[in-house]
Amino acid sequence: QVTLKESGPGILQPSQTLSLTCTFSGFSLSTYGMGVGWIRQPSGKGLEWLANIWWDDDKYYNPSLKNRLTISKDTSNNQAFLKITNVDTADTATYYCARAYYGYPYWGQGVMVTVSS
């Protein structure tokens, strides 16, 4: 059974760094073809793809976030991470991690992040 769960700070201030963790089970990020993606959704709005990391450590980012993103993984502990530097109020959203393999067939429940002074 595949599960994913996101965790994060809940609230942070502008200019801080947002650190998100995706803890998953039921698959391994060392398996050929597997990946994890991060997607976010401001309240009441649409979905925005942020980044993917693959089993071979290939990484892809959304350039609209202008080099503020860093994705990484800890294969031994079945975790993936996303950092967003220099956050502002526009980064307030629900952040999802999802398993990447022929689309995103498995998603976490999402974690709400609020950026506020």
Residue numbers of the site for another protein (CB under 8 A)?
A: 37, 39, 46-49, 52, 60-64, 96, 102-105, 107-110
In the bound state with another protein, the residue whose beta carbon lies nearer, of 15 and 61, is 61
Question: How far apart are CB 98 and another protein at their closest, in Å?
Answer: 8
Tell me the closest approach of the beta carbon of residue 12 to another protein, in angstroms: 22
Cβ proximity to another protein, 60 vs 81, nearer residue = 60
CB closer to another protein, 11 vs 47: 47
71 touches 59 (CB < 8 A): yes
Q: Which residues of 38-76 are buried (b: 16+ CB within 10 A; e: fewer)?
A: bbbeeeeeeeeebbbbbbeeeeebbeebeebbebebeee
User: Quick one: CA torsion of 1, 24, 104, 8, rounded to 10 degrees?
Assistant: 140
CB nearer to another protein: pick between 10 and 46: 46
Host H or E run for residue 72: strand 69-74
Instruction: Supply the minimum distance, in Å, between the C-beta of residue 89 and another protein.
Output: 21
Nearest to residue 6, comparing CAs of 44, 46, 50, 45? 50
The minimum distance between CB 108 and another protein, in angstroms, equals 7
